Structure 1
Amino acid sequence: MRTDVTFPSSGLALAGILFTPDEPGPHPLPAIVVSHPGGGVKEQSPTTYGERLARAGFAVLAFDAARQGASEGEPRGEEDPFQRAEDVRAAVSHLTTRPEIDPERIGALGICASGGYVPYAAQTDRRIKAVATVSAADFGRVIREGVDGTQPPEVLDAVLARAGELRTAEARGEPPHREPWVPDEWRDSAHRQDRETWEFYRTARGAHPRAGGTRLPRDLDRIALYDSFALIRLLAPRPLLMIAGSAADTAHLSREAVAAATGPAELRTVDSATHVDLYDRDEHVTTAVAELTRFFTAHLAAAG
């Protein structure tokens, strides 16, 4: 069953979808918050995972981040890691108010950039009892070092200089400068992930009218300060599951985060899958959902 919901985060109304089993077992239900990739919306990969996890017996809340998708807030498309983490906490708060949900059995799942935001929020939100990620990316580290960690230092220098120039321009009355999350037309890139991202957001495969719009490059100076996993030890003793494709350019981020965790942490690799394959490719999503179901059943559904 699917129910549209709204809930507040920092004074803004966030739009969400609550998925529940068509034939739920005894109430109250264990629940999972699902947060979308950067530039994405709840109707894409969060719905793909949400529908399947609901069939496995969980209530699942997918939602649009503040200032994105169908949620409130200006300027549109702003990507603020700290607000994104607050949105995750707000989604947990909403679930605790619902009579069909057991507030002691709430987990969280982050996909892509939210694979960084969700663990970051959970480090200090002890209401989140189990944490999982799919194709996790630490957006701050990606800005600082590049997807594969080989970005020359002068690239970040240029990004930060431009962010400052754009902030100065706004202070002088110019409208915020915007750039597309994903170009409308394919442009050659040395990174396979760039092409895959374009294919997902700009073709019938995954396109959605509210996804992959414009972003504010002046946000990059704030994002560069953010570190998803610097305090990952605070998750302990709560469990962590990170799922990555064996062919994903971002897989090293999950490996390193699991290695740094001090509590129970596991890495599951999906053979032959790339970063974006795990958004929607059925054969790879099926594998990932099986791992997620196992993990959340062990750590939420059986809890007292």
Structure 2
Amino acid sequence: MRTDVTFPSGGLTLAGHLYTPDGVDGVDAAVGPAVVVGHPGSGVKEQAAGLYARRLADRGFIALAFDAAYQGESAGEPRGLEDPGQRVEDLKAAVSFLTTRNEVDPERIGVLGICASGGYTLSAAATDHRIRAVGTVSAVDISRQFRLGADGSQDPAVFQGMLDAAAQARSAEARGEGVQRFGLFPATEEEARQAGPHVFEGWDYYCAPRARHPRSAKALTWSSVDRIAGFDAFVRVGLIAPRPLMMIVGREAVTSWMSVHAFQHARGPKELVWIDGAVHVDLYDKDEYVTPAVARLTDFFRSHLTPAREDDRLASAV
């Protein structure tokens, strides 16, 4: 069952979809485990995040997919702002919201981040001990992707040029010339194919009938760029330990090096799961890849979002 919900984050109201199990064997109808699901950069809750949330609800979890601030149905101006600090706060706010729900056990909350939210999830979990288990799918650090490119080989001059443009855009906005934005995708399929496989993957998902949504971001504000430049999603990944981490990666994804980097710097219980044949965006919606990913996540969250033992509760109360 899906319920439309709203909750606050840093003074803004976020819009979400709360998925709850319906007729699933073995589910405690009164209080159960929950998972926050963060959407990819430029995505919305109706796309990949909603798909994973629905699949997890089918398997007995309460799952919350939501739109980041400044995007989708959530509040915030200017529209299309990508603010990593706010995105991390949004995930923590989603956890706070779940702790207020009668059907959620606040001691059994996990977070799943997809693409850019994979990086944001690592950052949020590092400093929020309410998050008991962390999963990612096609995780990237948005700063590394902008600075180094999806495959890590981008000429540094490219990003320096973007910072130049961002600085000029801030000055233009100060002169009253309105919000300055840049497009995320080529205008046509032909242009997307010419730009390379990874660009076409994104275009095919966000701009073609396969998964496009009228509220998904097709452009970001230039003021997002210098915010992104100063962020590092992986710098505190070691703080997640001793809580468990599972990172799911497509074997053919050009972005896989970022998940590998984060995984190598994580401590404590951790597992890197490779999905054979999948590129980065395949894990957003293609059933032959999503199904095994959800199966692994289900086992992971079931293992680690378990009820606290009575002796553990007594020990924590002393």
- For the superposition of Structure 1 and Structure 2, which TM-score range results when normalised by the shorter chain? over 0.9
Which structure 2 residues correspond to residues 265-280 of structure 1 after superposition, within 5 A?
265-280=270-285
Report what 1:176 is aligned to.
179
Residue 208 of structure 1 corresponds to which residue in structure 2?
213
Match of 2:117? 114
Residue 6 of structure 2 corresponds to which residue in structure 1? 6
Q: CA deviation at 1:182?
A: 2.4
Q: 1:246 aligns with which of 232, 251, 257?
A: 251
Shift of 1:190: 4.3
How many residues are aligned here? Answer: 304
CA contact (8 A) 1:162 1:218 kept: no
Contact 1:183-1:198 at 8 Å conserved across structures: yes
Say which of 63, 83, 87 aligns to 2:86.
83
Distance 1:80 1:274 in 2: 26
Whole-Å separation in 1 of the counterparts to 2:270 and 2:196: 29
Gaps of 5+ in 1: none
Equivalent residue, structure 1, for 2:302: 297
Shift of 1:302: 4.9
Aligned equivalent of 1:15: 15
Q: 1:150 to 1:233 in 2, by over 3 A?
A: same
Q: Counterparts of 2:195 and 2:258 in 1: how far apart (Å)?
A: 20
| Greater C-alpha Rg | 2
Whether the aligned pair in 2 keeps the contact of 1:180 and 1:212 (CA below 8 Å) is no
Aligned residue number for residue 134 of structure 1? 137
Distance apart, 1:171 and its partner CA? 1.0
Instruction: Name the counterpart of 1:39.
Output: 42
CA distance in 1, matches of 2:139, 2:22: 30
Q: Which secondary structure does the structure 2 equivalent of 1:131 belong to?
A: strand
- CA distance in 1 between counterparts of 2:99 and 2:187 reads 40
Q: Is the 8 A contact 1:244 1:268 kept in 2?
A: yes
With normalisation by structure 1, the TM-score equals 0.97
User: Could you report, residue by residue, the CA deviation over 1:211-255 in whole angstroms, capped at 9, with x for unpaired residues?
Assistant: 133211231111011111011111010011000000001111111
Q: Is the 8 A contact 1:88 1:121 kept in 2?
A: yes
Given residue 233 of structure 1, which amino acid in structure 2 is its aligned partner? Answer: G
Pairing of 1:188-199 with structure 2 (within 5 A): 188-199=193-204
- State the 1:178 CA deviation: 1.6
Question: Deviations along 1:122-161, whole A, 9 cap, x unmatched?
Answer: 1101100000000001000111111111111211211111
CA distance in structure 1 between the aligned counterparts of 2:218 and 2:256, rounded to whole angstroms? 26
Is the partner of 1:297 in helix, strand or coil? helix
| 1:77 alignment partner, SS class | coil
Aligned CA RMSD, in angstroms, stands at: 1.2
**Equivalent residue for 2:154?**
151
Q: Could you say if the C-alpha distance between residues 288 and 302 of structure 1 is closer, same or farther in structure 2, counting changes exceeding 3 Å?
A: farther
Structure 2 CA distance for aligned equivalents of residues 234 and 174 of structure 1: 43
Read off the aligned partner of 1:102 and give its amino acid letter: D
Aligned partner letter, 1:5:
V
Instruction: Tell me how far apart the structure 1 counterparts of residues 48 and 85 of structure 2 sit (CA, whole Å).
Output: 22
Partner AA of 2:56 in structure 1: L
Deviates more, 1:99-108 or 1:211-220: 211-220
Q: What is the alpha-carbon distance in structure 1 between the residues aligned to residue 253 and residue 127 of structure 2?
A: 29
TM-score of the superposed pair, with normalisation by structure 2: 0.93
Distance 1:182 1:97 in 2: 39
Q: 2:72·2:217 contact (CA, 8 Å) conserved in 1?
A: no
Superposition pairs of residues 249-268 of structure 1, within 5 angstroms? 249-268=254-273
Residue in structure 2 matching 1:58, options 45, 61, 73: 61
The residue type equivalent to 2:121 in the other structure is V
Aligned to 2:312: none
Q: Is the 8 A contact 2:37 2:111 kept in 1?
A: yes
Residues 1:30 and 2:33 are matched in the alignment: yes
Superimposed CA distance per residue, residues 81-121 of structure 1 (whole angstroms, 9 cap, x where no aligned partner): 11000000000000000010000000000001001011111
SS at match of 2:127: coil
SS in 1 for 2:227: helix
Unaligned runs of 5+ in 2: 310-318
Amino acid at match of 1:235: I
Between the aligned partners of 2:129 and 2:32, the Cα distance in structure 1 is: 18
Distance 1:76 1:129 in 2: 32
